Amino acid sequence: MKKFLLLLVLSMGLFANAQESKSGDLVMNSKQHRSTITHNKSPERESAFKPGEWLKFRMHYGWLNASIATLQVKSAKIDGVPTYHVVGKGKTTGLASVFFKVDDTYESYFGKKDGRPYRFIRKIDEGGYTKDIEINFDHKNSKAVLNDKKNNKKIDFTLQDSVQDLLSAFYYLRNNYKLEDLVQGESITLNMLYDDDGIFPFKLKYLGKEVLKTKFGKVECLKFRPYVQSGRVFKEQESLSLWVSNDMNKIPVRIKADLAVGSIKADLDGYNGLKHQFKIIMD
């Protein structure tokens, strides 16, 4: 049960498994060859989201409605830098909360111009297991400082390459990838920092297009396969899939993890404040 919100947030972060090269491009890698997604830095570039965007997801474990998670985009400033402030919240509901209570909050502040994270907050309470972590990113000095408030300790990390936190990565890629640059079977890589066990790489494979039946109607999606680090959150045999709307919003529509016993699925359950029209296929 305690994996539910992390599954959702991690999946969103994994969707943005983009590593920025020195030239400012997003890099995709495969065994056969290497291709790049051009990072359009034009100020006229259309953003995929705006302050006021709100997404709601409902998680299921078999027939059980296990939890609800939301993501909301706001505006803020960090040391005078205009940022987006994304707040992610998740709670177990109904019968699930009787067996295992989860109350988690994730927050990310990332630049409106460059998409780089400036502050990441993780406050979780999962059946009595708690964490209270804040990470401040100092890009000028290429370092990040993690403040573990629960255990009253601080850890410094060196930022050798472009690094995203769990939430900023998702929004960064929403604003920068082009569908025509995605190649089926190729993988995107990312360095990620969101906990005290340090910076680590993730890989995300693009699997192609798929039409899903949702509560809103049929939606054409792009399907991805995140390769999670074994032993960190999921077991090796667990298979994680992510479907993102193939429109200008690029929002998660479904997230699914096939487990050794059953599967966990999160579906888009509500939305508000989208910057672009949510495309529904009309029969």
pLDDT at residue 279 in the model: 95
In degrees, rounded to 5, the angle at the alpha carbon of residue 113 between the alpha carbons of residues 247 and 142 is 120
pLDDT at 8: 54
State how far the alpha carbon of 262 is from the alpha carbons of 46, 252, 256, 259, in Å: 40, 22, 11, 5
Cα 102 to Cα 155: distance, rounded to the nearest angstrom = 26
Q: In this structure, how many other beta carbons lie within 10 angstroms of the beta carbon of residue 129?
A: 9
Query: Would you state the pLDDT for residue 236?
Result: 53
Q: Mean pLDDT across the stretch 91-106?
A: 81
Helix %, strand %, coil % of the chain (to 5): 10, 50, 40
pLDDT digits (tens, 9 = 90+) for 165-190: 989 988 987 887 778 888 999 987 77
Tokens of 280: 């529904």
Alpha carbon separation from 80 to 77, 132, 164, 233 (Å, rounded): 5, 25, 20, 36
Mean pLDDT across the stretch 239-263? 87
Q: Is pLDDT above 90 for 214?
A: yes
Q: Which of 19-23, 78-82, 141-145, 266-270 has the lowest mean pLDDT?
A: 19-23
The two three-digit tokens of residue 21, written as one number: 């090269």
Q: CA-CA distance, 92 to 101, in Å (whole number)?
A: 6
Position 245 scores a pLDDT of 96
Q: Residue 80: what pLDDT? A: 94
Burial 160-197 (b: 16+ CB within 10 A, else e): eebbbbbbbbbbbbbbbbeeebbeeebbbbbbbbbbbe
- Give, as one character, the DSSP assignment of residue 236: T
Averaged pLDDT, 244-273: 89
What pTM did the predictor assign?
Answer: 0.84
Closest CA relative to residue 185, chosen from 167, 172, 204: 204
CA 229 – CA 201 distance, rounded (Å): 8
Placement of tokens 């790049």 in the chain: 36
Q: What is the pLDDT of residue 191?
A: 84
In this prediction, residue 94 has a pLDDT band, given cuts at 50, 70 and 90, of: confident
Taking all residues of the chain, what is their mean pLDDT, rounded to a whole number? 81
Rounded to whole angstroms, the Cα distance separating 96 from 275 reads: 34
- Give the pLDDT band of residue 40 (cuts 50, 70, 90): very low
Query: pLDDT value at position 235?
Result: 56
pLDDT in tens, 108-140: 999 999 999 999 999 999 888 899 999 999 999
pLDDT at 42 > cutoff 50: no
What integer pLDDT is reported at residue 31 of this predicted model?
39
Q: What mean pLDDT do residues 98-116 have?
A: 90
Q: Among candidates 232, 273, 277, which has minimal Cα distance to 14?
A: 232
Which residues are registered as beta bridge partners of 267? 58, 254
**Is the pLDDT reported for residue 211 higher than 90?**
yes
Amino acid, single-letter form, for residue 50? K
